[in-house]
Amino acid sequence: MVNLVFCLSKGRYQWIEDEFGSKSLTRLVRFEDSVRFLESYLSHVSNNKGLGTNIKLLIKYKGETHLIDIHKISYIEITKRIIEIHVSEGGSEVYKAYASLSVLEKILARLGFIRISRFYVVAIDFIRKICGAQIELSIGKALPIGRPYKKKLLAVVYGEPNAAVK
């Protein structure tokens, strides 16, 4: 089970009350509506300068619950039905959860992530170089790029507007 957690600054929750009928400062988003929620939230953030985004991923796996800062995720990998979220902060940690990579891709595309193959979604900020059919991340990891994904990856890296959202 994976949820997004949105932590809003004090006094910045009027938007949630107007949009979703909730007065809470922290909002857990069900997977089914998290894409709509994220789009609305990011639209609100861009219209209100100075509103900080503190977005975390809440994952549960085998009785453990973890809250992961989105900005520290370098890449996400799927093996069978289990996603592995690779976090790079100091060392390297891996968190597991049952989830759909395609749903995570849709959610995270607006936050600087892009799918590079059937098995990987990477944070654009962690890409160090693209060489042939693979990318190298700033953490030293090399990942393969699937043929259908390469054109979109190059468009995003070289700055085509809104390429990751299409």
Confirm whether 164 is domain-assigned: no
Residue 162 inside a domain? The answer is no
Q: Distance between CA 138 and CA 164 in Å, rounded?
A: 20
Predicted confidence (pLDDT) per residue in 2-17, tens digit: 555 555 544 555 555 6
Query: Which whole number is the average pLDDT over 144-148?
Result: 92
Residues of the domain holding 48: 2-157
Instruction: Please report which confidence band the pLDDT of residue 64 belongs to, taking 50, 70 and 90 as the band edges.
Output: confident
- pLDDT for 29: 43
CATH number at residue 53: 2.40.50.1020
Q: Is residue 163 in a domain? A: no
pLDDT digits (tens, 9 = 90+) for 73-92: 999 999 988 999 999 876 67
The answer to the question of residue 165 being in a domain is no
Question: Residue 22: inside a domain, yes or no?
Answer: yes
pLDDT at 116 over 90: yes
Residue 147 lies in a domain: yes
For residue 166, tell me if it sits in a domain. Answer: no
User: What would the mean pLDDT of 41-56 be, rounded to a whole number?
Assistant: 58
CA–CA separation, 152 vs 67, rounded Å?
A: 30
Nearest Cα neighbor of 157 from 141, 142, 136, 139 is 136
Determine phi and psi for 11, rounding to 5 degrees. Answer: 85, 0
pLDDT tens-digit readout, 15-41? 556 655 554 444 444 444 555 666 666
Q: How many domains does the chain have?
A: 1
